[in-house]
Structure 1
Amino acid sequence: MELQAGREAVVRVGVATLWASPEAVRTVDRPALAPRTDIAAWIAGMDADQQVGDCVLSQLLLGERVLVTELRPGGWAHVVAVEQPAKLDPRGYPGWLPAGQLTPATALPDTDPLVVDATVTALHATPDGPVRLPGVVLGTRLATAGPVVDGWRPVHAPGHDAPLWIPDRHTAAVPDAAPTAAEALAVARRLLDVVYVWGGVSTYGIDCSGLVHLAWRRFGVRLPRDADDQATATTPLPPGSERPGDLYFFARPGRGIHHIGIVTADPRPGDDRRMLHACYRQRRVLEERLPADRTATLVGAHRV
C-alpha cells in the first residue's frame, strides 16, 4: 500500500518532527528528516538558538495517526495530527512530515494495549536481538502481539510485517481511568533537566505545553498540543485553590497565553508558588519557585 491524500497513515519512526513547511528545514535538521530518525543527534547538533527555531511545530510518536491531506514531489506529506487537538484545524494539528516516516494505516488488534513507560527504549527483531526501531519514547502506545517470552514482549510496529520485541519492564498497561494529579506530576518529574526544544514532545527535548501533553498522554489522556488550547480544555480554579498536579497559565497584558507549568506545591501566603515547567529562558525542564516576573503574568490555575 502507498500513502494517499485523504487517507489516514501512522508514524513509523520513534519520533517524527512536524515542520512548518518543507522549505523551513535547515541543514542541521538532517538527522530528524531521515527514514530512521536520530532525534538525540539532531538535538545535540543544534545550538541554543536553533533549538528554539519556529520551523518546528510539534512532534509525533511511533504509531500516532495522521490524516494525509497532500503529497508533494520530493517526499513530503502535509498531514493533520488527529491525536493532537488544536484550534488551528478542528481535525488536529496541521504540518509537514517526510513521507518516508509514515506508512498507510492498517487495522491492528488493540486488545491489552500497552504504553511505553521507559524514558527511551528500542524495538528489537528478536528477544535481546538486533535493534530494528530505535528511539521509542515514553508515552508511545503499542499493540501486544503475543505473550511475554523471557522478559520480552512482542508488539506490532507500523511498517514491520513481523512483530518486534521490547523489554516487558519498559511497558505498562494503559489504565482504564484518568490518572490522579500526583501520577501525572510524577511522570513530568522524570523529565527534569531534559533540554528545551521548541515544538518538542519527547524525552529527548520538549517545550512547556509538550511536557503537559506528554505527562497526561502517558495515561491515555489526549490533551491539546498548545498551551492556549490546553487552557480551554481544562477547568479554571478559584485563586489559591490549586494543588500539586494542577496547571498554571501565563500571559502578558492584552495578549494570549504563552506559557504553562505544572503546580508542584500548595500555594503559601505571600504568593509563594512552585511549578515544574520546560523553561525557554534556561532551556531545560526545571522545578522552581515562581519568580516575580512569572507571578506578574500568572493568569490562572486550571485542573485537568
Structure 2
Amino acid sequence: MSSKPKNTPALDPRVNPYRSDLASAHLYGKVTAERYVDGVPCQVRAGYVTLKEEPSFTARQSSQLLFGEVFTVFEEKDGWVWGQNATDGYVGYLQLEALDDELAEPTHKLTALRSFFHPEPDLKTPPLDMISLGAPLCVVEIDGGFAGVAGGGWVPLVHVAEIGAVKADPVDTALRLLGTPYLWGGRTSVGIDCSGLIQLALDAAGLACPRDSDQQQAALGTLVSADGAGHAYQRGDLVFFPGHVGIMADETHLVHANAHHMATVREPLADVLARAAAGKGVSAVKRLGA
C-alpha cells in the first residue's frame, strides 16, 4: 500500500523511520513510501554497538546503542538491519549479529563508568565483553558479589543498581566522565560527543533526553537566557551553542565533550566563548526543573 500525504511538513528522519521505499506502519498517512511495515523489537546483546547512517562499515557513525537497549527492526539485508532505538528514537543501521529477538525486561542499570561481563561469577575468568554506564540489565540471579544477567554473563554487583533506585546529579555524572575521549556519535565512557555526555548525565538522573544537541535545546528545561548575555549561571544550567552543548559545573565553569580538546573537560565558560567563531556563541541557556 502507499500513501501520498499532501501539505504535510517533513518529519525529522533522525527520529522517524521512513525512506522512499520503506516506512514504519505507524507513519502511514504521514509520509510517502512504497510500503509500510510493523517493526520487530530486538535487544542489543553486544557491549555497545555502532549505529550507522548507511549500511556500510565505512559509513559515518551517527550514534551508538548500549547493551540491553531495544532496537525495533524494520528491514534486514546482507547482515545489516535498519531500525529505531527505543531509548531516544534514533534511526539508523547496525549489524544484525549485535541483536537478539528475545527481550528481557530490565531490572537494573550499570552505574559504573564501565564494567565487564564474565562467563562465571568469578573475577578471574576472562571477560566476555565490556558494557558502559547506563546500560539496562535484566538481573536474574545474585551469586556472591556478582549479578547474573539474562542471556548470560555476570557483572560485579557493586557496579549495578535497581532502575530508579539511584538518581545521580547530572553534573556529578558529567564530572565523572572528565577525560573521556571525544568521539563523534559516542554514547559511552570509552568515547563520547557533546550531546552524548548530556544524554548520559540526564539518564543517570532518571530524565529522558533526546540524542542531538538541537533536539535537546528544543525539548529540555526552561529557557532562562537566549544568548547568555548578563545571565547569572547556575550549576546544572545547559548551555547551547550552534551544534554544541555543555552543562555548567558552577557559576563560571562548563563541562563539555569537545573537539578542541578531543576530550570531556571542565573549563571556564569564558575560554569557550573566546574560542567561538563569529555567530557561534551561546544560542540558549536552559534550566532543568525551572
Pair in the same fold by TM > 0.5: yes
Mapped to 2, the partners of 1:105 and 1:217 lie a distance apart of: 24
Query: Residue 248 of structure 2: which of 263, 267, 271 is its match?
Result: 263
Higher mean C-alpha deviation, range 113-122 or range 94-103: 113-122
Percentage identity across aligned positions? 31
* Structure 2 residues without counterparts, runs of 5 or longer: 1-36, 226-230
Mapped to 1, the partners of 2:102 and 2:86 lie a distance apart of: 13
**Displacement of 1:176 after TM fit?**
5.7
Mapped to 1, the partners of 2:155 and 2:132 lie a distance apart of: 12
Mapped to 2, the partners of 1:214 and 1:173 lie a distance apart of: 17
Number of the residue aligned with 1:21: 54
Q: Counterparts of 1:34-73 in structure 2 under 5 Å? A: 55-73=60-78
How many residue pairs match? The answer is 241
Secondary structure, in 3 states, of the residue corresponding to 1:201? coil
CA contact (8 A) 1:274 1:288 kept: yes
Query: Residue 6 of structure 1: which of 28, 31, 39 is its match?
Result: 39
Number of the residue aligned with 1:104: 101
Which structure's residues are more often helix, by fraction?
A: 1
* Structure 1 residues without counterparts, runs of 5 or longer: 27-53, 85-91, 252-257, 267-272
C-alpha deviations, 1:48-79, integer Å up to 9, x for none? xxxxxx70100000011111011112x11111
Mapped to 2, the partners of 1:93 and 1:109 lie a distance apart of: 20
What one-letter code is carried by the residue in structure 2 that aligns with 1:288?
E
Mapped to 1, the partners of 2:105 and 2:265 lie a distance apart of: 39
**Displacement of 1:228 after TM fit?**
0.5
Number of the residue aligned with 1:93: 90
C-alpha deviations, 1:222-259, integer Å up to 9, x for none? 200000101111123434254212210012xxxxxx00
Establish whether residue 142 from structure 1 lines up as the match of residue 137 from structure 2. Answer: yes
Task: Tell me the TM-score normalized by structure 2.
Answer: 0.77
**Displacement of 1:131 after TM fit?**
4.3
Query: Residue 277 of structure 1: which of 256, 262, 272 is its match?
Result: 256
**Displacement of 1:293 after TM fit?**
3.8
Number of the residue aligned with 2:27: none
Q: Counterparts of 1:143-182 in structure 2 under 5 Å? A: 143-146=138-141, 148-156=142-150, 160=151, 163-175=152-164, 179=167
**Displacement of 1:281 after TM fit?**
1.6
Q: Counterparts of 1:200-279 in structure 2 under 5 Å? A: 200-239=186-225, 240-251=231-242, 258-266=243-251, 273-279=252-258
- Superposed CA RMSD in Å reads 2.2
CA contact (8 A) 2:217 2:284 kept: no
CA contact (8 A) 1:5 1:71 kept: no
CA contact (8 A) 2:180 2:263 kept: yes
CA contact (8 A) 1:248 1:298 kept: yes
Establish whether residue 298 from structure 1 lines up as the match of residue 289 from structure 2. Answer: no
C-alpha deviations, 1:261-301, integer Å up to 9, x for none? 011112xxxxxx32000011221110111222449611221
Task: Tell me the TM-score normalized by structure 1.
Answer: 0.73
CA contact (8 A) 2:70 2:87 kept: yes
Number of the residue aligned with 1:40: none
Give the greater-gyration-radius structure (CA).
2
Establish whether residue 125 from structure 1 lines up as the match of residue 119 from structure 2. Answer: yes
